[in-house]
Amino acid sequence: MTNHRSKPPADSTGKEIPGSSFDRPGLIIPWKDLPWWAVIILIVGVYIGYIMLTNVKYIEALTFVLDLPWHKETLQVDDISENGDWLLTSKTSLGPGKYTLYVEYLDENDNVVGQSEKFNIQITSDAIDYALEPLTIPSEEYITLDSTRPTISGSSPEGERAILYDDFSRKPRLILLNIWRSDGLFLTLRVTMISFSSALILGLLFGLMRVADRSPDLRKNIFIRLLIGLVMIILAGIFTSLPEDIWKIALFVISVEGLMVLFPAIPYTLSTLYVEVMRGLPMLVIILYMGFAITPALRNASGGWITGEIDLRGMPSAIIGLSIGYGAYLTEVFRGGIESIPKGQMEAARSLGMSYFQAMGYVILPQAIRVILPPLGNDFIAMLKDSSLISVIALPEMLQRGRLWISRTFRAFEGYNSVAILYLLMTLGLSLLVRFIERRTSID
């Protein structure tokens, strides 16, 4: 025996303990899954983090980019009078419920120099929209009001301006609601998650179409299809005015019936077309298209109904753009996953009497999922990064917030650094997670 150290430890009976020496119980940190570069990045990260968190400008930039909505909502801002008195009426109407209001005092440079005590109020369900006599004495108990726009007054020894805040730090539901509404980090995460979910659905649907028969038997059920085509033509004739010209009618009939004849081949053709077109377009072009070409065109075509009744501007068009763009990539991921499952699996399932879709759902897809989980994770990370592209349609996600902060402070370095660091934190964390999943699924 030449190398004693490489031998696994032996137990008292002299038999070797199975498994590697990494399998010690009690170690929660997955050392095996933590690559060496992660350790280096961790060290560098701690260093950079220290520098940033001890620098006021970075903190300012990070807070602005993160846009954390933890505990307060501005209700009104006003100047404090010469003698220090202030009087603030909530600008927006408050719904029925309990509120904790307080005022913060700012100096001429907008630094916080103090704050009032808290006013606890309760707005009744039949409250009406009017401003009440000002409340002057803060109270621990809830004061019941029948007004939806409370007025609060007091006096401040210092400060130039006063901000009336609604403090909701003890209301989890409101915090969640504000996370849902907030910009910056949460907008980025929101857009990514919604877009990725819908891209997953698109990917699955088109992926299933991609693995459909590419040269199906067009003769099968052809008469039923032709009949359906005929019914559609007749319905079109009844509900819309067909062109007078006999040639145009003939062309219409031939196109409809032609499509019906080709129908079994359409899923594969359509999904291939979708994949090739979408993968051939830069993401930026797709998003600009959605934001500035498709949405206005839809508004015009629908007589203002879309973006009137249904508003597609802003986030919806960004989400649609990202989803259909990434749907194409995910389609290929799903196709690859499904095709990686041996043919015998489908045959065994079909031989037992399962339909094609039952076999897909119970036998093929559950196995394919294991194969495609890592590439899906990678595409999620890619989408998280690409979500910064939606700043071109002026959505205040992380990058846009960073640029906004830079345009106010002219500190490009701190601004972009903060944005970059936040993206890196998320993407590096996620890629560690993907590695972990990769190891896990490749074991069995």
Partner 1 sequence: MTEEPIIQIKNAYKNFGHIEAVYDVSLDVQIGEVLVIIGPSGGGKSTLLRCINRLEVIDKGEIIVDGVSVNNPKNINKIRAEIGIVFQLFNLFPHLTALENITLAQQVVRNRKKKEAEEIAHYQLQKVGIGEKWNSYPSHLSGGQQQRVAIARSLAMDPKIMLFDEPTSALDPEMIKGVLDVMLALAEEGMTMVVVSHEMGFVKAAADRIAFLDFGRLVELTTPDQLFNNPKTERTREFLSQILE
> Closest approach of Cβ 327 to partner 1, in Å?
26
3-state secondary structure at position 222: helix
Helices (H), 387-411: 398-409
Reduced 3-state DSSP string for 313-371: CCHHHHHHHHHHHHHHHHHHHHHHHHHCCCHHHHHHHHHCCCCHHHHHHHHHHHHHHHH
User: Which C-beta is closer to partner 1: that of 61 or that of 364?
Assistant: 364
What does the radius of gyration of the chain's CA atoms come to, in whole angstroms? 31
Helix or strand run (H / E) with residue 86: strand 85-89
Among 155, 213, 347, 407, binds partner 1 (CB under 8 A): 347
Rounded Cα–Cα distance for residues 122 and 195 (Å): 39
For CA atoms 145, 148, 153, 159, give the dihedral sign. positive
Distance (Å, whole) CA 163 – CA 106: 8
The span of 153-161, 188-196, 253-261, 350-358 binding partner 1 (CB under 8 A) equals: 350-358
Interface with partner 1, residue 358, by CB under 8 A: yes
Stretch near partner 1 under the rule CB under 8 A, chosen from 63-71, 252-260, 358-366, 372-380: 358-366
Cβ-based nearer residue to partner 1, 133 or 444: 444
- Binding partner 1 (rule: CB under 8 A), the pick from 363, 371, 376, 419 is 363
Stretch that binds partner 1, among 101-109, 261-269, 324-332, 348-356 (CB under 8 A): 348-356
In whole angstroms, what separates CA 8 from the centre of its chain?
Answer: 46
- Tell me the CA distances in angstroms from 194 to 74, 295, 322, one per residue in order: 28, 19, 10
Residue 73 or 438 having the CB closest to partner 1: 438
* Minimum distance of partner 1 from residue 350's CB (angstroms): 7
Of the two residues 172 and 353, which places its CB atom closer to partner 1 in the complex?
A: 353
Shortest spacing between CB 371 and partner 1, in angstroms = 11
**β-strands 139-149, 97-106 pairing:** unpaired
Nearer to partner 1, 167 or 339 (CB): 339
Q: What does the per-residue mask of binding to partner 1 show for 369-408, with x meaning CB under 8 A?
A: -x--------------------------------------
User: CB of 294 within 8 A of CB of 281?
Assistant: no
Specify the residue, 282 or 342, whose C-beta has the smaller distance to partner 1.
342
124 binds partner 1 (CB under 8 A): no
What is the smallest separation between the CB atom of 144 and partner 1, expressed in angstroms?
Answer: 56
Instruction: Identify which of residues 171 and 350 has a Cβ nearer to partner 1 in the complex.
Output: 350
Using the rule CB under 8 A, is 354 a contact of partner 1? yes
Is 134 in contact with 121 (CB distance < 8 Å)?
Answer: no
Residues of span 306-345 touching partner 1 by CB under 8 A = 342, 344-345
In the complex, the smallest distance separating the C-beta of residue 355 from partner 1, rounded to whole angstroms, is: 6
Give the residue with the Cβ less far from partner 1, 79 or 347: 347
Q: What is the DSSP string of 190-206?
A: HHHHHHHHHHHHHHHHH
Q: Chain-centre distance of CA 392, in angstroms?
A: 17
- Identify each DSSP E strand in 119-242 by its residue range: 119-131, 139-149, 151-155, 161-167
Q: Which is nearer to partner 1, 170 or 439 (CB)?
A: 439
96 close to 123: Cβ distance less than 8 angstroms? yes
367 contributes a contact to partner 1 by CB under 8 A: yes
Residue 145 three-state SS: strand
Give the shortest CB-361-to-partner 1 separation in angstroms: 9
Among 140, 244, 245, 444, binds partner 1 (CB under 8 A): 444
Output 237 or 366, the one with its CB closest to partner 1.
366
Q: Is 19 in the site for partner 1 (CB under 8 A)?
A: no
Instruction: For 122, list phi and psi in degrees, rounded to 5.
Output: -130, 125
Q: How far is the CB of 349 from partner 1 (least distance, A)?
A: 8
* CA dist., res. 383 & res. 329, Å (int): 11
Q: Which residues of 154-169 are buried (b: 16+ CB within 10 A; e: fewer)?
A: bebeebebbbbbbbbe
What minimum distance in Å lies between the beta carbon of 360 and partner 1? Answer: 12
348 binds partner 1 (CB under 8 A): yes
For partner 1, how many residues bind (rule: CB under 8 A)? 19
User: Residue from 35, 237, 258, 366 that binds partner 1 (CB under 8 A)?
Assistant: 366
Residues that bind partner 1 (CB under 8 A): 342, 344-345, 347-355, 358, 362-363, 366-367, 370, 444
